[in-house]
Amino acid sequence: MRFSIYRFDPDADANPYMKDYDVELEAGDKMLLDALILIKAQDDSLSLRKSCREGVCGSDAMNINGRNGLACITPLSALKEPIELLPLPGLPVIRDLVVDMEPFFRQYRSIRPYLINNDPPPETERLQSPEERAELDGLYECILCACCTTACPSFWWNPDKFVGPAGLLQAWRFISDSRDQATSERLDDLEDPYRLFRCHSIMNCVDVCPKELNPTEAIGKIKAMMVRRKI
């Protein structure tokens, strides 16, 4: 199979370039990450992140034939050759397929992604009905891979001001939690021309999410809640 991979080592290269690799491999039921490991065995200078290899840790997000995804759960059989691999768009490149994720995580941290409840904790668990708990489904499963946020044109333009789909999905996760008491502060924090309202429902986030989550819907619910509290 033929691959064309973005290469850039700031220690050695003046400019990034695309490098071709040929790998003897039957696509079969193999994943893109399997091919990248074979390529790295040929050329150990190719840098990428990888960890769980089963789509739960979010390390190996990259741009695959023009679309963000996780290498470990992208079947080779679904990809057209030459398979073109680029780092996630919209973030500074550290080297090859490794990007600086800090702008993404800064926005995640900015939404105060933790349960806020100032009551003294009971001796056992706080109760939550199965229906209340079901409100968190489709939200808590986010793996922070950044596929969605780095596919979002609004984030490309304003990475320092727009929270982005992943952060907003988590904002809604905590607003939706029956145990959380900070809804009004959370909404105040997002009531801003950039932090929330730069989302124009382009829906690239929904399209690329490898966990099939729906940030656009969550953002819509936050907006609706803001409207409701005004009237």
Partner 1 sequence: MEKRKFDVAIIGAGGAGMRAALQLSTAGCNVAVLTKVFPTRSHTVAAQGGITAALGNVTEDDWLWHMYDTVKGSDYLGDQDAIEYMCRMGPQVVYEMEHFGLPFSRLQNGKIYQRPFGGQSRNFGGDQATRTCAAADRTGHAVLHTLYQKNIQAKTHFFVEYMAIDLVRDGEGRVLGVIALDMEKGEPLLVEARATLLATGGAGRIFHASTNAFINTGDGLGMASRSGIPLEDMEFWQFHPTGVAGAGILISEGVRGEGGYLVNSAGERFMERYAPHAKDLAGRDVVARAIAIEIHEGRGCGKNRDHVLLKLDHIGREVILDKLPGIREIAMKFAHVDPLDSPIPVVPTAHYMMGGIPTHYRGQVVVPAKTGPEEAVQGLYAIGECACVSVHGANRLGGNSLLDLLVFGRAAADHIVEYLKENPTSPPVPKGGLDLALSRLARWERPDGEERVADIYRDMQKIMQSHCGVFRRAEVLEEGLQKLLEVRQRLDRAAISDHSRVFNTARIEALELDNLMEVAFATIRSAIERTESRGAHARDDHPERDDENWLKHTLAYSDGTIDYKPVRLKPLSVPSFPPKTRTY
Binding mask 111-150 for partner 1 (x = CB under 8 A): -xxxx-x---x-xxxxxxxx-xx--x---xx-xx------
The two structure tokens encoding residue 116: 């806020």
User: CB–CB of 56/142 below 8 Å?
Assistant: no
Distance CA 160, CA 163 (A): 8
Distance CA 217, CA 219 (A): 5
User: Least separation, in Å, of the C-beta of 190 and partner 1?
Assistant: 18
User: CB–CB of 167/149 below 8 Å?
Assistant: yes
Query: Within 45-74, which residues bind partner 1 (CB under 8 A)?
Result: 45, 47-59, 73
Stretch that binds partner 1, among 14-22, 78-86, 92-100, 190-198 (CB under 8 A): 92-100
User: Least separation, in Å, of the C-beta of 142 and partner 1?
Assistant: 8
Encoded amino acid at 37, one letter: I
Taking CB under 8 A as the criterion, the residue among 23, 67, 161, 180 binding partner 1 is 180
Is 189 a binding residue for partner 1 by CB under 8 A? The answer is no
208: nearest Cα among 200, 196, 218, 216: 216
Distance CA 155, CA 52 (A): 27
CB-nearer residue toward partner 1: 26 or 231: 26
Is 161 a binding residue for partner 1 by CB under 8 A? The answer is no
Q: Return the number of other C-beta atoms located less than 10 Å from residue 153's C-beta.
A: 13
Binding mask 211-230 for partner 1 (x = CB under 8 A): --------------------
Taking CB under 8 A as the criterion, the residue among 10, 17, 22, 81 binding partner 1 is 10
